[in-house]
Every structure is written in C-alpha cells, then in structure tokens.
Amino acid sequence: MTPVSVNEGFGPVILGQPHGGTFVPVDILDRLNETGRGLADTDWHITRLYEGLHDGATVVAANFHRYVIDANRDPSGVSLYPGQNTTGLCPTSDFDGNPIYRAGGEPGPDEIEARRQKFHAPYHTALHAQIDRVREKHGIAILYDCHSIRSDIPYLFDGLLPVFNIGTNDGKTCAPDLEEIVVDVCQNAGGFDAIVNGRFKGGWTTRHYGDPRNGIHAIQMELAQRAYMIEAPPWNYCDDLAQIVRPHLAGILHNLNEAAHLLGQEFETHHV
C-alpha cells in the first residue's frame, strides 16, 4: 500500500483528500477494539463524491485511515481547536469520545513518530509538490480540502451540523473573492444550509498551506454526510442524494477555476 495517491491535473485547483483512506496496518488493527475497527470516523466515499466534477483538477488522496495518523493534524501534536473536544495526531478515541484501542494498545511517542514518517510526511510531501507544480504553471494554486462528517456528533458540536461548512481560518487562508465564490454557491444551493468558519475553520492543511500573498489559496469544505450517504453502518453511498449535492460541488470547483485564471494573471503582474 502506497501512503498517498496522486492524480495530476492540468488546472489550478487541487483536491486534498486526507481522510478517505481505510488502510490500517495489521499490527495496529490487532490493537484496535471493536469501536476502532468500525472506522466510523472515515470521510466515507469522498473520492467517489468528487470524482468527475471538474476536469483538470489534481487529486491528492491519503490511502491510510485517520486512526493510523491524521494527515490533517499538526505533526507536532498541537491542538487545532484549543479548549474544544477534538481528536489528535494519532487518535486514541473516536468522534464520540469512545476509546478505539484495547487497554494498553495506544501508541507511544516513538510509534507516533514512526507513523508520522511513514504516512503523514509522504502525504504532505506529495501535496506540497503538487501545490508547487500548479502554482508554477498557473501563477496560483487553489487547494480545496475535501472532508465529510456525520451530521450529529454531540461530543464535537451542538445540534445538527449545516451541510456546507466552509473553513478559511477566519479569512486568512484565501483571497476574499474566493471565499465569497464558495459561500455564494452554498447559500444558493436550494435545500441545503451553510456556514463559514463555524465549528470547522479549516484544519492544519488549510492553515499550513494557505498563503494568499504568495499565490496559494486554501479552503476546507466539511460536508455533512447526510447530503450523500447513510450515516450509520454499513455507511452506504446514496446516489439519489449525491446527484442533488454534486452539481453544487461542481459549481464551486468550476467557479474557483475561472477565478483562478484572473487571480493568477494579477499575481504574475505584481510579481514580475
């Protein structure tokens, strides 16, 4: 199993998919309890959901599960949301706060570092390389980080999560015009609700790479899974639901792509 899969596109948009993988090495799987083996916190079917929505988009996808190591967490282990319930770099509990390891099976510091080197680092090496390649070609790179999560998780947030959760770290990780493009599509998507920088402001990937002044724009989309699947085992994809939300996601990517060409020209003009 290779830690990351890359499908190079020709356009300015990069789709990051850090949480869609389900691979767990046997030595880790053997130490997970029944809860952990259920892999409930997967961004189920995220690759399928976005597949074919935008010709030219590059896709960088982690093949390993977030229980092995979370590719959207700070490799130092610093919390993204201080004071709020969350999961760490190598999670030991699930999104409901339940342990995922058998007693004594949790990874120690040496194992966490080994996992970082084997899985986390290759994912970000690949992502960084694609950002550099795309920016070199277009004068700009737009990293659109694809996520999904169950709609109702009291341990993490109150109430029912909006369908579209747009994260730009309070506007720091992308140009205002790009945030506005995403917000506009989501707010005009009939039957769906949306929020900007609510519970999910963008994970480490968005915050780490987003650098608008240098032509790198990052946006996280946390999609409530009720928009396209059944939020319970066996986590079935629902094509009838997906066909309703997919055009809106396609609209986001199309509009970002169009805006990228203009921003890329402006960036090149000001950096000649």
pTM of the model: 0.95
Q: Output phi, psi for 28, to 5 deg.
A: -85, -45
Please list, residue by residue across 85-102, b when 16 or more beta carbons sit within 10 angstroms of its beta carbon and e when fewer do: ebbbbbbebbbeeebbbe
CA distance 258 to 11: 10
Radius of gyration of the chain (CA): 18
* Tens of pLDDT, residues 194-228: 999 999 999 999 999 999 999 999 999 999 999 99
pLDDT value for 86: 79
Mean pLDDT of the chain: 95
What does each C-alpha distance from 7 to 38, 56, 120, 256 come to in angstroms?
A: 28, 10, 18, 19
The Cβ of residue 190 has, within 10 Å, a number of other Cβ atoms equal to: 6
pLDDT value for 264: 63
Under the banding of pLDDT at 50, 70 and 90, the label for residue 23 is very high
* Tens of pLDDT, residues 36-58: 999 999 999 999 999 999 999 99
Express as a percent the part of the chain with pLDDT over 70.
97
Under the banding of pLDDT at 50, 70 and 90, the label for residue 272 is very low
* Tens of pLDDT, residues 55-98: 999 999 999 999 999 999 999 988 777 777 778 899 999 999 99
Map out the domains of the chain with their CATH numbers: 4-270 (3.40.630.40)
CA distance 159 to 232: 18
CA distance 171 to 210: 10
Distance of CA 98 to the CA centre of its chain: 23
Please list, residue by residue across 19-46, b when 16 or more beta carbons sit within 10 angstroms of its beta carbon and e when fewer do: bbbeebeeebeebbeeebeebbbbbbbb
Q: Which two tokens stand for residue 32?
A: 């997970």
| Nearest residue to 145 (alpha-carbon basis) of 156, 133, 158, 131 | 131
| β-bridge pairing 216-224 and 164-167 | antiparallel
